[in-house]
Amino acid sequence: YQRRVRDPRVNLRRGKSDIYNRDMCTAGAGTLILEFKMLGRLVGDPTFESVAERAMDRLWEMRNRTTDLIGNVYDLERGEWSDPMSGIGAGIDSYFEYLLKSYVMFGNENDLHRFNTYYSAIERHMKRPREGGDPFYYANVHMDTGEVQNHWIDSLSAAFVGVQVLHGDLETAIHHHALFYGLWLKYDALPERFNWERRMCEYSLYPLRPEFAEATYLLYQATKHPFYQYVGETIYTSLERFNRAKCGYATLNSVLSKKQEDRMESFFLSETCKYLYLLFDTDHPLNRREDFIFTTEGHLLRVDRFARERMNVLNKEARTANISHMFTCETFPRTRQQTAPFSDEFWSQVATMINLSV
């Protein structure tokens, strides 16, 4: 570890990476802190925590100081961004997740400050349209200018809904989730990319990703609204109908043709199935405890008493943030429990935005 950001791939025989592997995505460099900190404390060796912290510090330093946005791919040799696109999906998603979860787990104030800074920048530069009450999406923008770089959203950005739940921004999470629910109804899956300008699928692969199921589970845990179990049933029905294969569940080569590939990613069992199972098993012990968090790969880490006390501070800060109509898990209005989590008018606007027949 001569650099502050790790190599994406290392040849175990030569002890170094090849030059053509010098690009590292932000998520790859910024999604070590939970596991490495825990490992270091379990074995009593601060080296693991140190290298993970150094990578996080370097990413923070590399943000644009005007927009507070961060790029997608970092050139390790040149020490600069090779892809300055900033978004909430592939290549960057779990970096934001781990900043917030690191604060919950270990109580590091710097991590919370950094997350809040990024979250404000995301709302300010990526959210489209900016007018309140309308269906919205988060566009991929240039980190230096905030200008839109392309016209697609990807399936991994559904994970940001779960981050918004943990942040206490439930109202935004509820309406953000509705976009992905509409896409699921449209395709019985989530395509890797959906073009929001042309209102059509741009990259039709569906490799059984867990992000939408995870967001649905977390929203149910936060609101106890039965709608999210209904969404989970919809996901399950689609998987049984289109992904079930002789020896497991298959990747869809195309959400349009529903042609299957001879491939089942490991995250389907470790994450997708796990979140759906927990969504319906409401009496499961994990659903009755508050002393754990999920890693980005769906593994469990136990939060100690100090970290749980920090969680109360987190919810307090979320309630006072400059975001309108915000609810935490404890303050979600009971009157909303008896109706849909969003209005019929809003849902009609979502359907129009993605060209969904309802």
Q: What is the pLDDT along the chain (358 residues), one digit of tens a residue?
A: 345 556 666 777 777 665 556 788 999 999 999 999 888 888 888 899 999 999 999 999 999 999 999 999 988 878 889 999 999 999 999 999 999 999 999 888 999 999 999 999 999 999 998 555 578 999 999 999 999 999 999 999 999 999 999 999 999 999 999 999 999 999 999 999 999 999 999 999 999 999 999 999 999 999 999 999 999 999 999 999 999 999 999 999 999 999 999 999 999 999 999 999 999 999 999 999 888 899 999 999 988 764 445 445 444 444 333 333 334 455 555 555 446 799 999 999 999 999 998 7
**The predicted structure's pLDDT at residue 338:** 47
**Distance separating alpha carbons of residues 295 and 56, to the nearest angstrom:** 17
Q: Which two tokens stand for residue 112?
A: 């919370």
Given the DSSP bridges, would you call strands 244-245 and 248-249 parallel, antiparallel or unpaired?
antiparallel
Burial degree of 23 (CB within 10 A; 0-12, 13-18, 19+): middle
**The predicted structure's pLDDT at residue 319:** 36
Reduced to 3 states (helix: H, G, I; strand: E, B; else coil), residue 26 is helix
Q: In what order do the strands lie in the sheet with 152-154?
A: 152-154, 193-195, 200-203
Q: For the whole prediction, is pTM greater than 0.85?
A: yes
Q: What residue type is 21 in one-letter code? A: N
Which residues lie closer than 8 Å to 282 by C-beta, 6 or more apart? none
Active site includes 192? Answer: yes
**The predicted structure's pLDDT at residue 326:** 36
pLDDT digits (tens, 9 = 90+) for 330-357: 555 555 544 679 999 999 999 999 999 8
State how far the alpha carbon of 161 is from the alpha carbons of 72, 137, 275, in Å: 19, 11, 14
**The predicted structure's pLDDT at residue 8:** 62
**Phi-psi sector, 168: left (phi>0), alpha (psi -120 to 50), beta:** left
pLDDT digits (tens, 9 = 90+) for 288-299: 988 889 999 999
The HSE-up count of residue 55 (CA atoms within 13 Å, CB side) is 29
Catalytic residue among 49, 53, 97, 192: 192
